[in-house]
Amino acid sequence: MAEPSNRVPGRYGQTEIAANQLEPWPNPHPNRLYVVHFEIPEFTCLCPRSGFPDFATIVIDYVPGPSVVELKSLKLYINGYRDRAISHEGATNTILDDLIAMIQPRWMRVVGEFNVRGNIKTTVTAEHQEEGYAGPRPTYQRPTFSGI
pLDDT at residue 136, rounded to an integer: 96
**Strand ranges inside the chain, DSSP E:** 24-26, 36-46, 53-63, 67-69, 107-117, 120-129
Angle among Cα 93, 124, 82 to the nearest 5 degrees reads 65
Tell me the residue range of the domain where 32 lies: 22-129
Share of the chain above pLDDT 70, in %: 91
pLDDT at residue 18, rounded to an integer: 81
More confident residue, 104 or 10: 104
Domain tally, the chain: 1
β-strand partners of 128:
108
Is residue 72, in this structure, part of any structural domain at all? yes
Is residue 145, in this structure, part of any structural domain at all? no
In which region does residue 147 sit, left (phi positive, over 0), alpha (psi from -120 to 50) or beta (all else)? left
Is residue 108, in this structure, part of any structural domain at all? yes
- Binned at pLDDT 50, 70 and 90, residue 123 comes out as very high
Which of 3-7, 41-45, 103-107, 134-138 comes out lowest in average pLDDT?
3-7
31-42, pLDDT tens digit by residue?
Answer: 999 999 999 999
pLDDT at residue 7, rounded to an integer: 53
Is residue 17, in this structure, part of any structural domain at all? no
Instruction: Tell me which of 45, 54, 97, 98 is the catalytic residue.
Output: 54
Is residue 146, in this structure, part of any structural domain at all? no
Reply yes or no on whether 47 is catalytic: yes
Is residue 144, in this structure, part of any structural domain at all? no
Q: What is the mean pLDDT of the chain?
A: 92
Is residue 138, in this structure, part of any structural domain at all? no
Instruction: Tell me which of 45, 47, 61, 98 is the catalytic residue.
Output: 47
| CATH number for the domain harbouring residue 116 | 3.30.1130.10
Is residue 16, in this structure, part of any structural domain at all? no
pTM of the model: 0.89
107-117, strands of its sheet edge to edge: 36-46, 53-63, 107-117, 120-129
Angle among Cα 123, 55, 37 to the nearest 5 degrees reads 60
pLDDT at residue 46, rounded to an integer: 98
Reply yes or no on whether 45 is catalytic: no
